[in-house]
Structure 1
Amino acid sequence: MPRLTPAVVRSLDILELFLDAREGLTAPDVARRTGLPRTTVHEILTTLAARAYLKRDEATATYHLGLSVFRLGNAFAERLDLHAVGLGVARAVSEACDETVHVAILDGADVLYVCKVDSTQSVRMVSRAGGRVPAHCTAVGKALLAHLPQDELERRVEDGLVRLTPNSVTEPVALARQLKEIRTAGLAFEYGESNPDVSCVAAPVRDHTGTVVAALSISVPDMRWKQRPEAEWATLAADGARHLSTELGSA
């Protein structure tokens, strides 16, 4: 194990206390929670406040996270690349099931495939990174639509719901019912709605703010979809989306 600097460890321990302290903490609060001497706590709090990692409210003598923490978080977020990170996670999920895995985002009323990893099997879904499909016809799109505010959802689908296959959902009431179920379950399914011979499962991906920014899906030809319990496909997709969310900074 690498040698750690005790003073830095104490400072970080104190700083991390504020992650869940929305009302702030006083110096006695910090001393009580860390077990550190009050003089040590005072010195560290004063130093962190001087560097804007904490901000002291003089009226209440409480400390809160400061601007420097916000700047660090933004710098980290800006360096995250959904395509690069998503491709690595998609590869891992695809290797676990040998099926096609997509990571997608919303673009208007469509989903845009940010990255794709193909199954190695000869019969597989045909698509491409950079391709677009009406969101309401795909599991990955429904996983994204389900987490939009109602007014934004209505705006995105105001031109109507196109039909790609006989199974496509084209009635707004039916779509709304599905999206409500998806929000509750945290998973979206699609059975031959964009391709008549393919079933899919998808789960939402969140960023460091907790916002749904993408979704990860597994697309399986029906001849193999039924070879595993549906719950197994769901677990693979949910675990992959959770992993990608973690990589994007989601708690």
Structure 2
Amino acid sequence: MGRLVPAVTRALDILELFLDGDGTLSAPEITRKLQLPRTTVHELVTTLAARHYLVPLPDQPGRYRLGVRTYQLGSRYAEQLDLAAEGQQVARTVAETCDETVHVALLEGMDVIYIAKVDSTHAVRMVSAAGRRLPAHCTSVGKMLLASLPEDELEARLPAGEPLAAMTPNSITSPEALREALTEIRGRGVAVEQRESNPDVSCVAAPVRNSAGQVVAALSISVPMIRWSDERLAELEELAVKGASELSERLGHRRRP
């Protein structure tokens, strides 16, 4: 375990004090409760307020309450926690239908992180794990999520003037080729990856939306090439879209008529 940073520990101690009582505290109260130097508390409270983790009460000078940033962090945690739990349930249903490996993943930078996974019962199947991170451009879930980004955000994430890393000979390595693929995915509403992250596996993915209609994840079905065909692809695309739609509805998304 690495060394704890005292200043960070003290700042978190301050924030955790607001979990008790009426949710408001003054700097002198914080000083007394934590037995810290008054100057230290003043500097920490000033920093937390500047970053919107604390907010001064306008009608009570010198008193603070938790700020909007703590709410945003809590909301993001709750959203991801619910997404992982609901994603696991939906992935299980989809996997039972097709008997293939099903994933739910999030986008982080230019990588995807799998937050839910249900295995196929076949002896030959994709080997992976929840929590695994892969380059987004090599996976169907990643390409689906990249295709859902606004153009300026996508541009900011793509490495300027650099080829993309390859996982197999079929991986897309050109940013220009990736942009073309993402344009096609936007038009189709599903993403397909054929042996781009694993030479023996192909995948299909569909977008998962939250209550605001934003794409927050993607659901994919991964199939070994020995069970892959054009006919199977059409079936799996339909199933991935249905599973992603079910997960979206669980997150509060309602499709417009």
Uncovered stretches (5+) of structure 2, i.e. residues with no partner? 1-73
Shift of 1:224: 0.6
Tell me how far apart the structure 2 counterparts of residues 143 and 222 of structure 1 sit (CA, whole Å).
Answer: 21
Tell me how far apart the structure 2 counterparts of residues 107 and 125 of structure 1 sit (CA, whole Å).
Answer: 22
Aligned equivalent of 1:31: none
2:139 matches 1:133:
no
Aligned equivalent of 1:8: none
3-state SS of 2:149 partner:
coil
Aligned equivalent of 1:232: 235
Please report the TM-score for the alignment, with normalisation by the length of structure 2: 0.66
| CA offsets 1:123-162 (integer angstroms, 9 cap, x no match) | 1001100000000000010000001111211222216410
Aligned equivalent of 1:153: 154
Uncovered stretches (5+) of structure 1, i.e. residues with no partner? 1-73
2:210 matches 1:211:
no
| CA offsets 1:95-149 (integer angstroms, 9 cap, x no match) | 0000000000001110000110000111100110000000000001000000111
Q: 2:216 corresponds to which letter in structure 1?
A: V
The share of aligned pairs that are identical, in percent, is: 60
Shift of 1:172: 1.1
Q: In 2 relative to 1, CA 207–171 (structure 1 residues): closer, same or farther, beyond 3 Å?
A: same
Q: In 2 relative to 1, CA 139–148 (structure 1 residues): closer, same or farther, beyond 3 Å?
A: same
Match of 1:180 among 167, 176, 183: 183
Kindly tell me the number of residue pairs found equivalent between the two proteins: 177
Tell me how far apart the structure 2 counterparts of residues 211 and 184 of structure 1 sit (CA, whole Å).
Answer: 17
Aligned equivalent of 2:103: 102
Tell me how far apart the structure 1 counterparts of residues 233 and 218 of structure 2 sit (CA, whole Å).
Answer: 18
3-state SS of 2:168 partner:
coil
Tell me how far apart the structure 1 counterparts of residues 78 and 132 of structure 2 sit (CA, whole Å).
Answer: 25
Tell me how far apart the structure 2 counterparts of residues 128 and 140 of structure 1 sit (CA, whole Å).
Answer: 15
Shift of 1:173: 1.2
Tell me how far apart the structure 1 counterparts of residues 163 and 212 of structure 2 sit (CA, whole Å).
Answer: 31
3-state SS of 1:119 partner:
coil
